[in-house]
A and B are shown apart, each in its own frame.
Chain A
Amino acid sequence: MATVELKGVKKRFGSTDVIHGIDMEIADGEFIVIVGPSGCGKSTLLRMVAGLETITDGEIAINGSRVNEKEPMDRDIAMVFQNYALYPHMSVRQNMAYGLKIARVPKPEIERKVAEAAKLLQLEPYLDRKPRELSGGQRQRVAMGRAIVRQPAVFLFDEPLSNLDAKLRVQMRLEIRELQSKLGITSLYVTHDQVEAMTMADRMIVMNAGVAEQIGTPLEVYERPRTLFAGTFIGSPSMNTVPGRVAGGAVTLGNGAVIACSSRHDGPATVGIRPEHLHVDPDGPLEVEVTLTEPLGATTLLHGKLKGVEGVFTASLQGVHTKDSGTHTVRFSIPAEDIHLFDPATGLRLA
Chain B
Amino acid sequence: MGAATKEPQAGMVEKRGSALWVTHALMILGVLVVFFPIWLAFVASTVTQPEIVSPPMPLLPGPHLVENYTRALFAGVNVPVATMLLNSLVMALGIAIGKIAISLISAFAIVYFRFPGRTTFFWMIFITLMLPVEVRIVPTYEVVAGFGLLNSYAGLIFPLIASATATFLFRQFFLTIPDELAEAARVDGARPMRFFIDIVLPMSRTNIAALFVILFIYGWNQYLWPLLITTDPEMNTIVMGIKQMFPSGDDTADWPVIMAASILAMIPPVIVVVSMQKLFIRGLVDSEK
Q: Which residues of A contact B (CB under 8 A)?
A: 50-52, 71-73, 77-79, 81-83, 85-90, 98-99, 102-103, 146
Contacts and interface: CB of A to CB of B under 8 A. Distances in A.
Given A85-B178, A102-B194, A73 B188 contact: yes
Given A73-B187, A78-B187, A99-B189, A88 B203 contact: yes
B70 to A, nearest CB: 46
Nearest to A77: B187
Contacts of B185: 87, 98
A72 B180 contact: no
B189 A85 contact: no
A103 B203 CA distance: 22
B198 A98 contact: yes
B186 interface: yes
B189 A83 contact: no
Interface residues of B, number: 19
B180 A82 contact: yes
Closest 4 interchain pairs by CB? Answer: A73-B189, A99-B188, A85-B180, A85-B184
Interface in B196-219: 198-199, 202-203, 205
A86 B187 CA distance: 12
Interface in B215-241: none
A85 B187 CA distance: 11
B51 interface: no
B67 interface: no
B219 to A, nearest CB: 28
Contacts of A102: 188-190, 194
A102 B180 CA distance: 18
B289 interface: yes
A85 B181 contact: yes
B189 A52 contact: no
Interface string B143-184: 000000000000000000000000000000000001011011
Contact of A79 (B187, B190, B288): B187
A71 B185 CA distance: 12
Nearest to B189: A73
B183 A52 contact: yes
Contacts of B188: 73, 98-99, 102, 146
Given A82-B180, A83-B178, A89-B203, A103 B187 contact: no
A275 to B, nearest CB: 38
Contacts of A88: 203, 288-289
What is the predominant secondary structure among interface residues of chain B facing chain A? helix
Interface centre among A71, A77, A98 (most CB of B within 10 A): A98
18 contacts: A51-B186, A71-B186, A72-B189, A73-B187, A73-B190, A79-B184, A81-B183, A83-B180, A85-B178, A85-B180, A87-B185, A89-B199, A89-B288, A90-B202, A98-B185, A99-B187, A102-B190, A146-B184
A48 to B, nearest CB: 13
A89 B202 contact: yes
Contacts of A86: 184
Given A81-B180, A87-B181, A52 B203 contact: no
Given A98-B190, A146-B184, 13 more contacts: A72-B186, A78-B187, A79-B184, A79-B187, A81-B180, A83-B180, A85-B180, A85-B184, A87-B184, A87-B185, A89-B202, A89-B288, A102-B190
A81 B189 contact: no
A89 B188 CA distance: 16
Interface in B244-289: 288-289
Contact of B199 (A52, A79, A87): A87
Contacts of A83: 178, 180
A79 B180 CA distance: 10
A103 B189 contact: yes
Nearest to B199: A87
A98 B203 CA distance: 15
Contacts of B194: 102
A104 to B, nearest CB: 10
Contacts of B180: 81-83, 85
B191 to A, nearest CB: 9
Contacts of B199: 87, 89
Interface string B90-124: 00000000000000000000000000000000000
Contacts of A103: 189
A86 B203 CA distance: 12
Interface centre among B180, B187, B199 (most CB of A within 10 A): B187
Interface string B74-102: 00000000000000000000000000000
Contacts of A50: 183, 187
Contacts of B198: 87, 98
Contacts of A89: 199, 202-203, 205, 288
A49 B112 CA distance: 22
A85 B182 CA distance: 8
Nearest to A81: B180
A77 B187 CA distance: 7
Contacts of B183: 50, 52, 72, 79, 81, 85
Interface centre among B188, B202, B205, B289 (most CB of A within 10 A): B188
A103 B187 CA distance: 11
A81 B288 contact: no
